[in-house]
């Protein structure tokens, strides 16, 4: 999966950690790549709702855990 342009070192590390988490949870690099796209989509959809309550890292890992588990993106509405 290609990384977005102008990504900071912190964001690169967070992206790599999220992808590893997804890969380990799902057991597939392809599945991890698909979920990574969903994570960022969900994060953008609910950015204003969660922005002041959680750090970016906590929010993204929470979305990742939901998507790799049974619940899905709707739990972040």
| pLDDT tens readout for residues 24-47 | 999 999 999 999 999 999 988 876
9-26 and 56-68 helices, crossing angle to 10°: 20
Residue 54 is assigned to a structural domain of this protein: no
Residue 60 is assigned to a structural domain of this protein: no
Domain count of the chain?
1
Residue 56 is assigned to a structural domain of this protein: no
Please state, for a pLDDT cut of 90, what percent of the chain lies above it. Answer: 52
Residue found under tokens 């999220």: 18
Residue 57 is assigned to a structural domain of this protein: no
Confidence band (pLDDT; 50, 70, 90) for 55?
Answer: confident
Are the CB atoms for 63 and 76 separated by under 8 Å?
A: yes
On the question of pLDDT at 77 being above 50, the answer is: no
8 burial level (CB within 10 Å; 0-12, 13-18, 19+): exposed
Cα separation of 51 and 55, whole Å? 7
Higher pLDDT among residues 33 and 54, named by residue: 33
Domain ranges, residue 13 = 1-39
Residue 20 is assigned to a structural domain of this protein: yes
């Amino acid at each position: 999966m290609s990384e977005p342009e102008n990504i900071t070192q912190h964001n690169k590390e967070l992206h790599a950690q999220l992808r590893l988490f997804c890969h380990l949870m799902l057991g597939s690099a392809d599945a991890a790549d698909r979920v990574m796209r969903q994570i960022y989509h969900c994060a953008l959809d609910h950015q204003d709702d969660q922005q002041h309550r959680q750090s970016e890292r906590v929010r993204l890992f929470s979305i990742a855990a939901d998507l790799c588990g049974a619940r899905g993106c709707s739990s972040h509405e």
